[in-house]
Amino acid sequence: MSRRRPRLRSVRTKLALVFFAIITAAFGLLYFIATPQLESKLEQRQLDDIQSSAQDARSQMKGVINADYKEKVLNEKIRGFSEETDARVTLLRLDENGLFYTVSDSRTDKDAPFNSALSRKALRTEHPQTEIGPLAGEELAQVAQPFFRGRKEKRPIAVAFYARDLNDVAEAVDLVRNRVLVATGVALALALAGAFLVAQALARRMGRLEVAADEVAHGRFIDPLPVDSQDELGQLTRTFNQMQAQLRQVDVARKEFIATASHELRTPIFSLAGFVELLQDEDLDEDTRREFLETMSEQVARLQKLSVDLLDLSRLDAGSVELHPEPVDLSELARSIVNEFTPALADHHTDLEIRLPDVGPEALCDPVRVAQIMRILLDNALRHTPAGTQVTVGAARTNGTAGLTVTDSGPGLPNDSDTKVFERFYTGDAARGAGLGLAIARELAERMDGRLRVSSASRGTAFTLELPTDGNGA
């Protein structure tokens, strides 16, 4: 049974923390980076607006400066410029000592604050100067516009100083900041709630998979899990169901193989034990004793074949089968293997037809393993067909491969067994073998980069071994 995870290590908590961190980081960037940039841009826009308005009113301001207006009229003119530019306007002049003094102010304040340094810089550069900074305890957008008399030798006569408070900007930015904080709080609450709900659903589905995997790990197969989504977990569930189905098939095949192998081993062993007891009888005649010995020899051969098949399978599974590929004339190899089966063919009353070219085809393979596959195919043709069945052995080169074919004219394979005959432990007739030969043959063919295929009809079955060529064969 799976152990319960600590809350802080659960997927639900981790996913919620990730959502929390992402949203906090996003709104933090918005609050500490985007908002100050917004404030800076709004302030700069205010400053640009004052500068543009001052430039538009420059000619009128110069006319006012050059005219000899009385103080009351001058103050009214300056207030007019203040309304046009939406800024406080202060008209400055220089005294004999080169110090600025206020001539007129839009608020009629003789002690109106102004930026002396910015004004001097404007006179020195002969161009308007701008600045955003504190003045008399307020954050102001400031513009100093110089005026001169004379074209060649410009003599400074006045500076028009414009100042606009940035309270509107500060209020707008504060409003944005407050909305960001509120939105952050709401988003965090929704993110945490959503993360917990999503993580809970995911954890439930993963827990179901965990319990199912634990059951399978203990050898208890369960019904397929429902695939209720098309996401990664749905695909994982689908893969798990496929894995369980394959494991179930392997488990069933393993049990069947154990039963078959036990039967295959028990039958000849019990038979041998019985014949040994019979042979201990001194009253047996010589013919009977010879018959018993022949039967015992057959049972020993059966045991030898089964043990060799099991050993070959274990080596294939362990990957310890060594292959030594070389160019091999399949016709020559097939003839040598057919000659080994001459006595068996005669006992089976089989009419063997050989369709082998004099030379080739040539394949790149391990001759020992190809000979083993040929023996399995010929033995299979004799074991699973009635006596007198015709068997044909052929070789040819097609589509860049070299092939050997063993065909019999027997009753053919059972329905829907074409794909099963190569499976381990499968046998259409358990009394005639453990069903290991073709499985071994197929795996050996694949290890040599070839394949073993079967085609069957109502009268006859053909097994074809296809192998890669060496590139130089005819």
pLDDT tens across 123-161, in order?
999 899 999 999 888 889 999 999 988 776 678 889 999
350: nearest Cα among 311, 383, 390, 293? 390
Residue corresponding to tokens 């917004």? 38
Q: What is the pLDDT of residues 421-453, one digit of tens each?
A: 777 666 665 445 556 788 888 889 999 999 998
| Amino acid (1-letter code) at residue 5 | R
Confidence at residue 82, expressed as pLDDT on a 0 to 100 scale = 92
Average pLDDT per run of 10 along the chain, which is 474 residues long?
52 71 78 81 91 92 88 90 92 88 86 90 92 90 90 83 89 84 81 77 79 83 82 82 84 71 70 77 76 79 74 73 89 89 84 85 91 89 83 87 89 70 64 68 90 82 88 48
CA distances (Å), origin 180, targets 17, 23, 404, 457: 20, 12, 78, 78
Question: Class assignment of domain 232-316?
Answer: mainly alpha
Phi (first) and psi of residue 472, to 5 degrees: -120, 0
Q: Where in the chain is the domain with CATH 3.30.565.10?
A: 321-468
Residue 272 and residue 305: Cα distance in Å, rounded?
Answer: 16
User: How much is the pLDDT for 170?
Assistant: 81
3-class secondary structure per residue, the chain:
CCCCCCHHHCHHHHHHHHHHHHHHHHHHHHHHHHHHHHHHHHHHHHHHHHHHHHHHCHHHHHHHHHCCCCHHHHHHHHHHHHHHHCCEEEEEEECCCCCEEEEEECCCCCCCCCCHHHHHHHHHHCCCEEEEEEECCEEEEEEEEEEEECCCCCEEEEEEEEEEECHHHHHHHHHHHHHHHHHHHHHHHHHHHHHHHHHHHHHHHHHHHHHHHHHHHCCCCCCCCCCCCCCHHHHHHHHHHHHHHHHHHHHHHHHHHHHHHHHHHHHHHHHHHHHHHHHCCCCCCHHHHHHHHHHHHHHHHHHHHHHHHHHHHHHHHHCCCCCCCEEEEHHHHHHHHHHHCHHHHHHCCCCEEEECCCCCCEEEECHHHHHHHHHHHHHHHHHCCCCCCCEEEEEEEECCEEEEEEEECCCCCCCCCCCCCCCCCCCCCHHHCCCCHHHHHHHHHHHCCCEEEEEECCCCEEEEEEEECCCCCC
- Is residue 416 within 8 Å of residue 399, measured between CB atoms? no
- Predicted pLDDT of residue 2: 45
> Thinking of the domain 321-468, which architecture would CATH place it in?
2-Layer Sandwich (3.30)
CATH fold of 57-165 reads Beta-Lactamase (3.30.450)
Query: Residue 417 burial (CB < 10 Å; 0-12/13-18/19+)?
Result: middle
User: Which tokens in the block code for residue 307?
Assistant: 């043990």
pTM: 0.46
Q: Which segments of the chain belong to CATH 1.10.287.130? A: 232-316
- Residue 13: per-residue pLDDT: 72
Residue 21 is predicted with a pLDDT of 81
Cβ neighbours around 5 below 10 Å, total: 13
